[in-house]
Structure 1
Amino acid sequence: MVFSSLIFIFIFLPLVLISYYVAPKRLRNTIILLASLIFYAWGEPIYIVLIIISILINYLGALLIRVHINNKEKSKFIFITILLIDISILFFFKYYGFAIESLGSIIGLDLKVKTIALPLGISFYTFQQISYISDIYMKKAKPQRNLIDFAAYITMFPQLVAGPIVKYTDIHKQLSNRKESINKFGKGVQRFIIGLGKKVILANNLGLIWSQVKELNSSDLSVILAWIGIIAFTLQIYFDFSGYSDMAIGLANMFGFDFLENFDYPYISKSITEFWRRWHISLGGWFREYIYIPLGGNKKGTIIQVRNLFIVWFTTGLWHGASFNFIAWGLYFGVILFIEKIYLKDLLKKIPSIFSHIYTLIIVIIGWVIFDTTTLSDAGNYLKIMFGFSNNIFIDNLSKYILTNNFIILLLGLICSTKLIKICTNKIKSALKENDIFLIATINLLILIISTAYLVGASYNPFLYFRF
């Protein structure tokens, strides 16, 4: 089940909300837990056992660490054991086949393993559990003694299968003491609808453009069409993932929770450093807090800092998928960030903003080519076409046709990836003052109606980050 489905919007969510608000407050986390397990089991019921076992291991492990908190050796042993269990489960389901096949290619053997379906959201809920057990061990938080509350935190359906990664320290007080209100509920509905519009109206239609381009043989691509395709994907992945995050934050508000922001207009950035402060904020924060800083961060000299930087970005790439493309994508950004920190930091501040902005967008777009092509060879060929290092024609009738037919959605995507809509909306709100509620309600209703119309006949409605 996905948020952008009719069954979720018009059946599952209303039933859960009614059950939640009818139930006494002491049972509301139980309602969230049961709803989340149903939500998760909807697509892959067999893996419900895996997530329950994983929850029990981390719940009991945290309590054991607390019992032996004054015995450094015992608490460290328990912490490392739980950490290895969490990582091993993730490795088996996500990387085992990739590791065996890679080993086979190194030693010259054709080693194949049976393909195992990847449990939905395993990367996200594993990282949440690692952050939880780490915070307990480092005495940043006390373990949750209520199993229902802990299980509700891990399985909470708004963020279970595609984030954002919600740290226990950011939400533990809300598990037992949160205030639902009509105002917060209304904000949640509005945020959910905005996210739905991003996903269904923008991301899905932009994704269709990229799908058309990707299906073509490289020899049939013109330079302009290659750029149209990757720009469409650049916008698609942003609206797909930020739309999901908006819906997750909105859903959390409906149930009285507050999640931290996960995106902050990343495509307006003027450096790659700034871009990664604005893109998938919860993941960047997780790597910084639980890998980069524990390794020494930037406080142990340049060599250690560079080592830590590349470890983080190798891991970031690998987290996104078991593929050399993802590893190369992560290391690519690691190299760019290293160059920025050492050589370009001051220069990017001095040059006109338009040039630093163009530089950032080109680097990001190249990264998306590496990210979403099948092999590194495919990525290299696509980049050659984009930058004119091939014999492909500059522009052809197909590129003119696709651009003409999709000009409006591409333009809308470009505009909505900036703060322009937000600025205009705020100005209208200020002008209307108390009467702005009617305008907002009308706009939200219109977005919901258009999104629903798209969903009724939709044949293309993936969530890109579900595969991670």
Structure 2
Amino acid sequence: MLFNSIDFAVFLPIVFILYWFIFCKSIKAQNFLIVVASYFFYGWWDWKFLSLIAFSTLIDYSIGVGLSKENRPSKRKILLWISIIVNLGFLGFFKYYNFFLDNFISAFSFFGYSINGSSLNIILPVGISFYTFQTLSYTIDVYRKQLKPTKDFIAFSAFVCFFPQLVAGPIERATHLLPQFYKKRKFKYSLAVDGMRQILWGLFKKIVIADNCAEYANQIFNNSNEFSGSSLLLGAIFFTFQIYCDFSGYSDIAIGTSRLFGFDLMKNFAFPYFSRDIAEFWRSWHISLSTWFRDYLYIPLGGSRGGTWMKIRNTFIIFLVSGFWHGANWTFIIWGGLNALYFLPLLLSGKNRQNLGVTAEGKILPSIKEIFQIGSTFILTVLAWVFFRAENISHALNYLKGIFDMSFFSKPQIFPTTILSLLTIFIFIEWLQREKNHGLEIYGNGLLKNRYIRWIAYICIIIVIFSFGGSQQEFIYFQF
């Protein structure tokens, strides 16, 4: 079920009414309703894959119970590895089977050996990368004794399948989200209203910005040989905002929806395109995944505590794995490696944590230095996104070659003034709100503090959504 659909617009109020008016007397009843609603929400796409979520839930719940009864290190490690192998095994089969098979055959063909192998017509279950990492966080944290294993199967099931963030995150930690299912939730009007604001802003980002940018990005990327360098650059910029507004828009809707039910989800984006260097960008982009890899892969490998070689090795591992997490294509791995190259000079010079605060905090305009830093970081990001969007490495290289052709100085063949104007307004609003959690948050001082201006903004956004909304498209991260 898509957030940007009539189906969800009907589904959400029904679940909300049942949750607060029918099942409100019991935490277990509310948790059970969440499980039923979440399975219905996911099954609306394809009910057959509900068995994967149920099996993953049962495995990790059982592993947690086993760890609670076992004190021998060797046995605890075996239980941990059972969870890791089962979860990553399912993820590997559905997501990477054909990739590994095709590359295995190609490798032997390169040395003159012919191997027969049949690719399978495998459907990638929506959200499997997200809920797999979420359940793994539970098992690992229980193994590390950072979290007490739960004996409440309904609460654990609700944690795994919580519908707002089930299919595209944020990837919640068990230490943060699971305890919220044990506590009685009280309806808070202020949080619910802020949740509605964030939902509205997320829908604007997805329907107006992302879906419109997608139309032009797809047209240019799919026919890149026919466009000038300036048009190719514009296409890359369109995709840059498409993927940001699509994914962060989903996160906004997920976080806002969770607040309607009394839950707090972690912030997943912090206005990343205003970053002053790549390190700051990665602290602001897909925060739940970046911190997951940091805590469960980068730090256990030694992080940046070792010598120069270890720092380089660990940096490349974390970025390459992050790229591979996104999909079974060498373009994602190249994208990850390119970002590692961007990041490495900052790490080796000890400047990777020099920009920790908000850009131009407390100011209306950035300094000349900050403008240069934001611009250069944005350009590097745009060029890296070309590999992320391209069909293959050859396509990406030809696309980049086309950008730096002499035709770069010509007028773009596609120049949609309407979407560019909306994009400019969007960037302006995000800049004004960059010290807040989302584009319509009114906490503290700001333009939206005035009630009349706020309601004018709401009405304008709703009108723009219905007037300029692009053709309905799935969220881009459903494929990951």
TM-score with structure 2 setting the length: 0.89
1:325-344 to 2 correspondence within 5 Å?
325-343=331-349
Q: Tell me the CA shift for residue 385 of structure 1.
A: 1.3
**2:220–2:232 contact (8 Å) kept in structure 1:** yes
Q: Tell me the CA shift for residue 236 of structure 1.
A: 1.1
Partner of 1:370: 387
Q: 2:156 is matched with which residue: 150, 156, 177?
A: 150
**CA distance in 2: counterparts of 1:56 and 1:449, whole angstroms:** 45
**CA distance in 2: counterparts of 1:369 and 1:200, whole angstroms:** 22
| C-alpha distance 102-417 of structure 1, shift in aligned 2 (>3 A) | farther
**CA distance in 2: counterparts of 1:431 and 1:305, whole angstroms:** 42
Q: Which amino acid aligns with 1:71?
A: R
Partner of 1:199: 206
Partner of 1:81: 82
**CA distance in 2: counterparts of 1:464 and 1:214, whole angstroms:** 16
Q: Tell me the CA shift for residue 342 of structure 1.
A: 2.0
Q: Matched residue of 1:312: which SS?
A: helix
Q: Tell me the CA shift for residue 18 of structure 1.
A: 0.8
Partner of 2:372: 355
Partner of 1:444: 458
> Deviations along 1:39-90, whole A, 9 cap, x unmatched?
000011100011101100000011101110x211111111111111111111
**CA distance in 2: counterparts of 1:346 and 1:39, whole angstroms:** 41
| C-alpha distance 353-344 of structure 1, shift in aligned 2 (>3 A) | farther
**CA distance in 2: counterparts of 1:152 and 1:443, whole angstroms:** 35
**CA distance in 2: counterparts of 1:426 and 1:187, whole angstroms:** 7
Partner of 2:363: none
**2:206–2:250 contact (8 Å) kept in structure 1:** yes
**2:211–2:472 contact (8 Å) kept in structure 1:** yes
**CA distance in 2: counterparts of 1:15 and 1:82, whole angstroms:** 35
**1:271–1:348 contact (8 Å) kept in structure 2:** no
Q: Matched residue of 1:63: which SS?
A: helix
**CA distance in 2: counterparts of 1:297 and 1:344, whole angstroms:** 14
Partner of 2:141: 135
| C-alpha distance 246-213 of structure 1, shift in aligned 2 (>3 A) | same
Q: Matched residue of 1:197: which SS?
A: helix
**2:164–2:258 contact (8 Å) kept in structure 1:** yes
Q: Tell me the CA shift for residue 426 of structure 1.
A: 8.3
Partner of 1:126: 132
Q: 2:191 is matched with which residue: 184, 196, 200?
A: 184
Q: Tell me the CA shift for residue 131 of structure 1.
A: 0.7
> Deviations along 1:242-276, whole A, 9 cap, x unmatched?
11111011001000001111111101111100100
Partner of 1:415: 428
**CA distance in 1: counterparts of 2:353 and 2:450, whole angstroms:** 43
**1:429–1:436 contact (8 Å) kept in structure 2:** no
Partner of 1:380: 397
Identity %: 36
Q: Matched residue of 2:91: which SS?
A: helix
**CA distance in 2: counterparts of 1:428 and 1:77, whole angstroms:** 48
Q: Matched residue of 1:270: which SS?
A: coil
Partner of 2:410: 395
Q: Tell me the CA shift for residue 405 of structure 1.
A: 5.3
Q: Which amino acid aligns with 1:155?
A: C
1:77-116 to 2 correspondence within 5 Å?
77-108=78-109, 109=114, 111-116=117-122
Long gaps (5+) in structure 2: 356-366
**CA distance in 2: counterparts of 1:344 and 1:133, whole angstroms:** 34
Q: Which amino acid aligns with 1:297?
A: G
| C-alpha distance 107-451 of structure 1, shift in aligned 2 (>3 A) | same
Q: Tell me the CA shift for residue 188 of structure 1.
A: 1.1
| C-alpha distance 225-417 of structure 1, shift in aligned 2 (>3 A) | farther
**CA distance in 1: counterparts of 2:305 and 2:333, whole angstroms:** 26
Q: Which amino acid aligns with 2:420?
A: F
**CA distance in 1: counterparts of 2:222 and 2:294, whole angstroms:** 37
Q: Matched residue of 1:161: which SS?
A: coil
Q: Matched residue of 1:42: which SS?
A: helix
**1:40–1:157 contact (8 Å) kept in structure 2:** yes
**1:267–1:418 contact (8 Å) kept in structure 2:** no
TM-score with structure 1 setting the length: 0.91
**1:205–1:409 contact (8 Å) kept in structure 2:** no
Q: Which amino acid aligns with 1:86?
A: N
Long gaps (5+) in structure 1: none
**2:272–2:285 contact (8 Å) kept in structure 1:** yes
**CA distance in 1: counterparts of 2:352 and 2:220, whole angstroms:** 38
Q: Tell me the CA shift for residue 437 of structure 1.
A: 3.7
| C-alpha distance 432-346 of structure 1, shift in aligned 2 (>3 A) | closer
Q: Tell me the CA shift for residue 453 of structure 1.
A: 5.5
Comparing 412-421 and 369-378, the one that deviates more? 412-421
Q: 2:473 is matched with which residue: 447, 450, 461?
A: 461
> Deviations along 1:98-149, whole A, 9 cap, x unmatched?
1001101111146441121001100000000111100000000011111110
Comparing 346-355 and 193-202, the one that deviates more? 346-355
Partner of 2:20: 21
**2:212–2:471 contact (8 Å) kept in structure 1:** no
Q: Which amino acid aligns with 2:478?
A: F
Q: Which amino acid aligns with 2:74?
A: E
Q: Matched residue of 2:100: which SS?
A: helix
**1:270–1:348 contact (8 Å) kept in structure 2:** no
| C-alpha distance 185-428 of structure 1, shift in aligned 2 (>3 A) | closer
Comparing 298-307 and 348-357, the one that deviates more? 348-357
Superposed CA RMSD in Å reads 2.6
Q: Matched residue of 2:457: which SS?
A: helix
**CA distance in 1: counterparts of 2:279 and 2:408, whole angstroms:** 35
Q: Tell me the CA shift for residue 298 of structure 1.
A: 1.4
Q: Which amino acid aligns with 2:450?
A: D
Q: Tell me the CA shift for residue 302 of structure 1.
A: 2.0
- Say how many residue pairs are matched: 458
**CA distance in 1: counterparts of 2:302 and 2:338, whole angstroms:** 22
1:243-282 to 2 correspondence within 5 Å?
243-282=249-288
Comparing 270-279 and 345-354, the one that deviates more? 345-354
Answer yes or no: is 1:239 the counterpart of 2:245: yes
Q: Matched residue of 2:164: which SS?
A: coil
| C-alpha distance 267-296 of structure 1, shift in aligned 2 (>3 A) | same
Partner of 1:65: 67
**2:224–2:399 contact (8 Å) kept in structure 1:** no
**2:197–2:441 contact (8 Å) kept in structure 1:** no
Question: Which runs of at least 4 in structure 1 moved beyond 6 Å after TM superposition?
Answer: 346-351, 421-429
Partner of 1:302: 308
